[in-house]
């Protein structure tokens, strides 16, 4: 058995952490331990000034000229290229646009069109609901069949679908449990029967060393406001592998996806590259915020960030085991860090009230029904001592039973 840890030992880990200086790139409230970057990333310090410049100078003074003079128009492509560097893709394969849900709709219909005659969409039981809502709607619209199976049954289901399989749609890291899928293995399994794979990178882009090209991934979408820190409702992104760019068609044919948007022709001709996945005018202020937020990754090695995320998760689980035994918690996440993203999910029958009491003490995670307390470990700003203090605070909440207060049991609209 390992000897008990001390807070001073963890403070030394922070002192020696090569990523420790990255914390200074963020505006973090005094006295708050923020463990919800897997839901909404923290604010990058330089974003407010950049957005103010865009509002006051570029919009206020430059007016419509700023589409050209301030570089607004090519922002989706610039941001896509910056994200591509974080997810193992080529710059011309990624563009920032729309929301994750809208982009998933595009790529699933695109996948069905790339595989005519194949009607099966294969998904995961327990995937983020909107992904399954979108997939169900696509299946209904396209006359396809949506099959959802348990995570451990995926490869068998792929083989069983055989030449009926059009596309597998999965989230790389499960939003509840944090389970990390084998991207290379599942993609290869789908390709063996002639199917495609569309990955949702909402819980992996910006925290794991994703390798889309190395894994021969066909299509992917992702979120700009979690580990990429782009702000609430930040633009999402879409990836199309180079070999599919000339054939994939977006089901939403908007003018920014046209080969010549400012020719204003009546007939639609898709752009030859990734721009064909665009639809309408980009939300420039949100684009500006996301682009500036990505500067927080300057000089960061994703493999190093991954190692820290794994270590933070392991530490959290160890401290929960040591300090919270007897309080009714379970660990829903894989204990093997190699099979887990940058989050740990605990279970408790009173999880919602416990999380509200924890937040009231300045430790911010979130809750997912029916019984999941989620804790995200964004390695750019979460410290080892934060994990110690978070678990100590959780122990205090449980020992005092303060979570039983009526105020903590009243459900809010956003959990």
pLDDT per residue as tens digits for the range 61-102: 999 999 999 999 999 999 999 999 999 999 999 999 999 999
Q: Which is catalytic among the residues 175, 181, 225, 297?
A: 225
Architecture of domain 73-297: 3-Layer(aba) Sandwich (3.40)
Give the CA distances from residue 209 to residues 199, 215, 333, 375, in Å, rounded to whole numbers and listed in that order. Answer: 14, 12, 20, 20
pLDDT at residue 2, rounded to an integer: 76
Q: Alpha-carbon distance 368 to 91, whole Å?
A: 35
Q: Which is catalytic among the residues 226, 276, 340, 383?
A: 226
Q: Alpha-carbon distance 303 to 41, whole Å?
A: 20
What percent of the chain shows pLDDT beyond 90? 98
Residues of the chain with pLDDT under 70: 1
Token duo for residue 17: 């952490």
Q: Which is catalytic among the residues 36, 131, 200, 386?
A: 200
H/E element, 387: helix 384-400
- What is the three-class DSSP state of 15? helix
Reply yes or no on whether 237 is catalytic: no
pLDDT in tens, 262-272: 999 999 999 99
Reply yes or no on whether 200 is catalytic: yes
Reply yes or no on whether 262 is catalytic: no
Reply yes or no on whether 225 is catalytic: yes
Q: Which is catalytic among the residues 297, 374, 381, 383?
A: 374
Please check whether residue 354 is in contact with residue 373, taking contact to mean a CB–CB distance below 8 angstroms.
yes
Reply yes or no on whether 336 is catalytic: no
pLDDT at residue 388, rounded to an integer: 98
Residues with Cβ within 8 Å of residue 260, at least 6 apart in sequence: 269
Fold match between domain 7-45+301-409 and domain 73-297: no
pTM of the model: 0.96
Q: Alpha-carbon distance 171 to 98, whole Å?
A: 18
pLDDT at residue 1, rounded to an integer: 64
Q: Which is catalytic among the residues 26, 34, 105, 128?
A: 128
- 10 Å Cβ neighbour count for 119? 17
**CATH 3.90.1150.10 holds for 7-45+301-409:** yes
pLDDT at residue 413, rounded to an integer: 87
Strand order in the sheet with 366-368: 330-331, 343-347, 372-376, 366-368
Domain positions in the chain are 7-45+301-409, 73-297
Residue corresponding to tokens 């996945």:
277
């Amino acid at each position: 058995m390992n000897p008990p840890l001390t807070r001073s030992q963890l403070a030394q880990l922070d002192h020696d952490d090569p990523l420790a200086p990255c914390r200074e790139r963020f505006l973090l409230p005094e006295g708050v331990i923020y463990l919800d970057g897997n839901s909404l990333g923290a604010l990058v310090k330089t974003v407010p000034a950049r957005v103010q410049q865009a509002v006051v100078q570029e919009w206020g003074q430059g007016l419509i000229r700023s589409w050209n003079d301030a570089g607004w128009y090519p922002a989706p492509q610039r941001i896509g290229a910056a994200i591509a560097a974080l997810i193992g893709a080529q710059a011309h394969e990624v563009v920032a646009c729309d929301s994750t849900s809208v982009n998933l709709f595009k790529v699933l219909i695109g996948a069905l069109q790339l595989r005519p005659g194949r009607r099966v969409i294969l998904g995961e039981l327990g995937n983020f609901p909107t992904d399954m809502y979108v997939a169900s709607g696509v299946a209904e619209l396209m006359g396809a069949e949506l099959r959802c199976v348990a995570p451990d049954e995926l490869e068998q289901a792929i083989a069983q679908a055989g030449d009926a399989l059009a596309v597998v749609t999965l989230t790389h890291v499960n939003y509840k449990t944090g389970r990390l899928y084998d991207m290379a293995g599942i993609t290869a399994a789908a390709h063996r029967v002639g199917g495609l794979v569309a990955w949702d990178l909402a819980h992996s882009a910006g925290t794991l060393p994703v390798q889309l090209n190395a894994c021969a991934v066909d299509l992917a979408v992702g979120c700009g406001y979690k580990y990429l820190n782009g702000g609430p409702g930040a633009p999402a992104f879409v990836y199309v592998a180079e070999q599919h760019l000339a054939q994939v068609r977006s089901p939403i044919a908007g003018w920014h996806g046209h080969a010549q948007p400012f020719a204003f022709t009546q007939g639609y001709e898709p752009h030859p590259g990734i721009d064909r996945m665009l639809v309408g005018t980009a939300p420039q202020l949100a684009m500006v915020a996301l682009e500036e937020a990505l500067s927080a990754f300057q000089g960061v090695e994703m493999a190093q960030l991954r190692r820290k995320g794994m270590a933070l998760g392991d530490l959290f689980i160890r401290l929960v085991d040591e300090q919270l035994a007897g309080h009714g918690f379970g660990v829903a996440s894989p204990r093997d860090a190699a099979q887990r993203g940058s989050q740990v999910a605990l279970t408790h029958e009173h999880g919602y009230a416990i999380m509200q009491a924890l937040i009231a003490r300045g430790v911010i995670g979130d809750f997912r029904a029916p019984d999941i307390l989620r804790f995200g470990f964004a390695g750019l700003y979460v410290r080892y001592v934060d994990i110690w203090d978070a678990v100590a605070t959780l122990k205090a909440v449980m020992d005092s039973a303060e979570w039983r207060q009526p105020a903590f049991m009243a459900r809010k609209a956003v959990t």
